Structure 1
Amino acid sequence: MSGRTAKSSQPWSWWNQVPVSRRKLLQLGSLGLGGMGLTLPRLLASDATGGQRLGPSLADNCILLFLNGGPSHLDMWDMKPNAPEGIRGEFQPIATSVVDYQMCEHLPRLARQAHLATIVRSMNHTVNNSHAAAVYASLTGHDRGEQGGGTKSTDHPSLGSIMARLRPTAANVVPHVCLPYMTKEGAGGPPQPGFFGGFLGSSLDPLFVLKDPNAPDFRVPELTLQNEVSADRLTARRRLFETADGSVAQGPSASKEMSRMQARALDLLTSEHTQRAFRLTDESDATRDSYGRNIYGQSTLLARRLVEAGTRIVTISWAPDANATWDTHGSNFATLKNTLLPQFDSACASLVSDLAERGMLERTIVAVLGDFGRTPRINANNGGRDHWNFCYSVMLIGGGFQQGLIHGTSDTTGAFPASHPLVPGDIISTIYAALGVDPTTDIHDLFMRPYRVVPAGEIAPNLLIRRT
Structure 2
Amino acid sequence: MLPSRRSFLQTTGCGFGYLAASALAQRQAWAAGGVGFQPHHVPKAKRVIFLFMQGGVSHVDSYDYKPRLLKDDQKIIDIADPRTVAKTGKGSPQRLKKPLWEFAQQGESGRWASNLFPHINRHVDDLCFLHGMHTEGVAHGPATLFLHTGTTSFIRPSMGAWVMYGLGSENENLPGFVTISPSLGNGGPRNYGNAFLPARYQGTPLGRSGLPSQEAKIKNIVNTAWTPEQQRRQYELLGALHAQQMRPGDTEIEAVIQSYELAWRMQNNAPDALDLAQESESTLQLYGIGEKVTDNFGRQCLMARRLAEQGVRYIQVNYGDNSNNPAWDQHSNLPKHGDHAAAVDKPIAGLLEDLKQRGLLEDTIVWWGGEFGRTPYAERNGTGRDHNPAGFTVWLAGGGVKAGFAHGATDEIGFQAVDGKVHMHDLHATVLHLLGLDHERLTFRHAGRDFRLTDVHGHVVKEILA
TM-score range, shorter chain: 0.7 to 0.9
Greater displacement, 82-91 / 190-199? 190-199
TM-fit CA distance, 1:426: 0.5
How far apart are residue 201 of structure 1 and its match? 4.8
Deviation at 1:437, TM superposition (A): 1.0
How is 1:33-432 mapped onto 2 (pairs within 5 angstroms)? 50=35, 54-83=40-69, 84-86=72-74, 87-128=97-138, 130-142=139-151, 144=152, 147=153, 155-169=155-169, 170-185=171-186, 191=188, 193-210=190-207, 218=215, 220-222=217-219, 224-238=221-235, 244=240, 252-254=248-250, 256-269=254-267, 271-272=268-269, 274-292=270-288, 293-321=294-322, 323-332=325-334, 334-337=335-338, 339-381=339-381, 383-432=383-432
Assess, with a 3 A threshold, how the Cα gap between structure 1 residues 98 and 125 changes in structure 2: closer, same or farther: farther
Give 3-state SS (helix, strand or coil) of 1:450's partner. strand
Query: Which digits, 9 at most, give the CA deviation of each residue in 1:376-406, with x for residues without a partner?
Result: 1122446211111111000000011111110
8 Å CA contact 1:176, 1:312 repeated in 2: yes
- State the Cα distance separating 1:155 from its structure 2 match: 1.9
CA displacement at 1:216 relative to structure 2: 9.2
Residue 181 of structure 1: SS of its match in structure 2?
coil
C-alpha spacing 1:394/1:230, structure 2 compared with 1 (3 Å) = same
Q: Structure 1's 423 and 241: CA in aligned 2 closer, same or farther, altered over 3 A?
A: same
Structure with greater contact order relative to length (CA < 8 Å, sep ≥ 6): 1
Task: Give the direction of change, closer, same or farther, for the CA distance of 1:102–1:216 in structure 2 (3 Å limit).
Answer: closer
SS of residue in 2 equivalent to 1:432: helix
Report the secondary structure of 2:422's partner residue: coil
Contact residue 409 and residue 418 of structure 1 kept, 8 A: yes
Distance 1:407 1:348 in 2: 22
Contact 2:184–2:209 under 8 Å retained in 1? no
Cα deviation 1:84-137 (Å, max 9, x = unaligned) = 214222211122114442101121222221111110111112321x21111122
From the superposition, tell whether residues 126 and 446 of structure 1 become closer, same or farther in structure 2 (CA, over 3 Å). closer
CA deviation string 1:178-219 (max 9, x = no partner):
11133413xxxx727432212215443211111689959646
Measure, in 2, the Cα distance between the counterparts of 1:127 and 1:218.
Answer: 32
- Aligned partners of 1:180 and 1:295 also within 8 Å: no
The AA in structure 2 aligned to 1:294 is D
Aligned to 1:11: none
Tell me which protein shows more helix as a share of its residues.
2
Identity percentage of aligned residues: 24
Deviations along 1:398-457, one digit per CA (max 9) or x if unpaired, are 011111110011111101123111100111110001011111114225667421242221
Task: State the shift of 1:66 in Å.
Answer: 0.9
CA distance in 1, matches of 2:367, 2:213: 29
Q: 1:215 to 1:123 in 2, by over 3 A?
A: closer
Give the 3 Å change call, closer, same or farther, for CA 412–357 of structure 1 in structure 2: same
Indicate the structure (1 or 2) with the bigger Cα radius of gyration: 2
Q: 1:223 to 1:81 in 2, by over 3 A?
A: farther
* Aligned partner of residue 65 in structure 1, secondary structure: strand
Could you tell me the TM-score, scaled by structure 1's length?
0.78
Q: CA deviation at 1:259?
A: 3.1
Offset from partner CA, 1:282-321 (integer Å, 9 cap, x none)? 1233322332343222111111111111110111221123
Question: What SS does the aligned partner of 2:259 have?
Answer: helix
Sort the Cα spacing of 1:111 and 1:309 in 2 relative to 1 into closer, same or farther, 3 A: same
Which residue does the alignment assign to 2:18? none
Q: Distance in 1 between matches of 2:244 and 2:172?
A: 19
TM-score, normalised relative to structure 2: 0.79
Matched residue of 2:192: which SS? Answer: coil
- Taking the aligned partners of 2:200 and 2:172, their CA distance within structure 1 comes to 15
Distance in 2 separating the partners of 1:295 and 1:167: 31
C-alpha change, 1:98 and 1:124, in structure 2 (3 Å) is farther
Contact residue 150 and residue 453 of structure 2 kept, 8 A: no
Contact 1:444 1:450 in 2 (8 A): yes
Q: 1:315 to 1:250 in 2, by over 3 A?
A: closer
CA contact under 8 A between 1:319 and 1:325: conserved in structure 2? yes
Contact 1:329 1:381 in 2 (8 A): no
Partner amino acid, structure 1, of 2:42: P
**Separation in structure 1 between the aligned mates of residue 214 and residue 144 of structure 2, nearest angstrom:** 31
1:64 and 1:418 map into 2 onto residues whose CA distance is 26
